[in-house]
Amino acid sequence: MASANTRDGNDAVVQPAKRPTIRDVAALAGVSKSLVSLVFSGGRVSDARRERVLIAAEELGYRPNMTARSLAAADGDFTGILVADLHNSIFSDIVDAARKEFSANGRGVLFSSASIPDAQGDLQLDRRALQVFGDLRPRSMLVVGTMPGLEDLERVVPGVPVVVASTIAPTISALATVRTDDERGIQLIIDHLVALGHRRIAHIGGGVEGGIVAQNRVSGYRDAMTQHGLAEYIQIADADFTERSGYLATRELLAGDSVPTAICAINDPAAIGALAAIEDSGLAGKIAVTGYDNSAQARLRQVSLTSIDPDNARIGYEAARRILELEASGAVQETQTLVEPSLVVRRSSVAPSELS
């Protein structure tokens, strides 16, 4: 078995470097251990002594143990970020923008995926991830995306202020919500498809798994179709936010008596599933498909999916600002922020004259 130690060129045992401690920093800076602790906990210390401590810590390569500090304090000096699905690139865009703003304001973060797939591939809440945050007691929480079982968050991390991004979470007491204007986004899609000449426009989405976001988008679809005088063509197939559900919903539509000439999907993965179902049915390029999120997959040249850009960088930035406002004053000026979406047109939205 290999030893944890290594040997130098003279075959002498070389011990691994010892991790510097708070006592080492105090000794080098010529101050007490309690003063070093005060510096790293953000306490009131003179500029001169703070600088001596920081210089000593830098020289030794000392970094405070965030876990130990969190467990020893009433709460951790960081923001916890729970992400619905790490495989969805839009959530990564939101988290990156939020982390950038937190970093600019000296705020540490710890993030984790909140969901794990079950045997069928459906996402379920990862309660162990919640328990980690419960043990570390973050100062605040940012929840990104729709996820099942979120009501457990308040039980595991009680009393921690929560901001929600890119979703609506009625099961928890979020102090602020930052999201895309779902109804406006779907209106842009329907306007675009109607301008191309489509009338038989179906929607895949609205399933109970999608929560209020799914309800808002299907409501936006109904309203937009009605405004264009196309209420008689309203057709909805239930789907959640996954590619698999988009595929199955589209197969259902294609097997019906009235095959649509265009499909408005609840999001990009569902739209990609729709494209796959259309191709498997021998109708590739003959039915227009649109998504929502302008994800990395939608931008792929081979996919070229017309989609709504929700401006995820703005959503992440605004969500971080709400967290910082809460920590500074205990309140937020806006409890709900709707970010204006825009339409990105690509090859997937063909005109009905091209469907013959």
Same domain assignment for residues 25 and 58: yes
Same domain assignment for residues 244 and 325: no
Q: Is residue 74 part of a domain?
A: no
Q: Half-sphere exposure of residue 25, counting CA atoms within 13 Å on the CB side? A: 28
Of the pLDDT bands very low, low, confident and very high (cuts 50, 70, 90), residue 76 is: low
Give residue for tokens 């990104």.
Answer: 144
Residue 78 has pLDDT above 90, yes or no: no
Same domain assignment for residues 346 and 227: yes
What was the pLDDT predicted at 354?
Answer: 55
Residue 33 has pLDDT above 90, yes or no: no
Q: What is the mean pLDDT of the chain?
A: 85
Q: pTM of the predicted model, to two decimals?
A: 0.73
* CA distance between the termini of the chain: 70
DSSP 210: G
Residue 21: give its domain's CATH number.
Answer: 1.10.260.40
Residue 71 has pLDDT above 60, yes or no: no
Mean pLDDT throughout 19-33?
Answer: 86
Same domain assignment for residues 13 and 93: no
Same domain assignment for residues 92 and 32: no
Other beta carbons less than 10 A from residue 12's beta carbon: 8
Same domain assignment for residues 168 and 187: no
Q: Is residue 236 part of a domain?
A: yes
Residue 70 has pLDDT above 50, yes or no: no
Of the pLDDT bands very low, low, confident and very high (cuts 50, 70, 90), residue 290 is: very high
What was the pLDDT predicted at 47?
Answer: 83
Structural domain tally of the chain? Answer: 3
Same domain assignment for residues 106 and 12: no
What distance in Å separates the CA atoms of residue 322 and residue 334, rounded to the nearest whole number? 8
What was the pLDDT predicted at 41?
Answer: 65
Residue 111: give its domain's CATH number.
Answer: 3.40.50.2300
In this predicted model, which residue has the larger pLDDT, 237 or 113?
A: 237
What was the pLDDT predicted at 72?
Answer: 47
Q: Is residue 84 part of a domain?
A: yes
Residue 53 has pLDDT above 70, yes or no: yes
Backbone dihedral angles phi then psi of residue 298, each to the nearest 5 degrees: -65, -30
Residue 3 has pLDDT above 70, yes or no: no
pLDDT in tens, 291-327: 999 999 999 999 999 999 999 999 999 999 999 998 8
CA 237 to chain CA centroid, nearest Å: 25
Question: Highest mean pLDDT: which of 18-27, 111-120, 192-201?
Answer: 192-201
When mean pLDDT is compared across 26-30, 33-37, 39-43, 303-307, the lowest value belongs to 39-43
Mean pLDDT throughout 71-93?
Answer: 75
Same domain assignment for residues 94 and 156: yes
Same domain assignment for residues 60 and 139: no
In this predicted model, which residue has the larger pLDDT, 196 or 334?
A: 196
Q: Is residue 72 part of a domain?
A: no
Other beta carbons less than 10 A from residue 99's beta carbon: 19
Q: Is residue 106 part of a domain?
A: yes
Same domain assignment for residues 168 and 129: yes
Residue 185 has pLDDT above 60, yes or no: yes
Same domain assignment for residues 282 and 349: yes
Same domain assignment for residues 156 and 208: no
DSSP, collapsed to helix, strand or coil, labels residue 63 as coil
> Domain range spanning residue 253?
182-310+342-354
Q: Is residue 143 part of a domain?
A: yes
Residue 151 has pLDDT above 50, yes or no: yes
Q: Is residue 69 part of a domain?
A: no
Q: Is residue 186 part of a domain?
A: yes
Domain ends where: 39, 64, 89?
64
Give the torsion sign (CA, 152, 154, 158, 162): positive
pLDDT in tens, 201-220: 999 998 766 678 889 999 99
What was the pLDDT predicted at 22?
Answer: 82
Taking alpha carbons only, the member of 344, 246, 247 closest to residue 294 is 344
Taking alpha carbons only, the member of 125, 128, 102, 106 closest to residue 115 is 125
- Contact at 8 Å (CB) between 262 and 201? yes
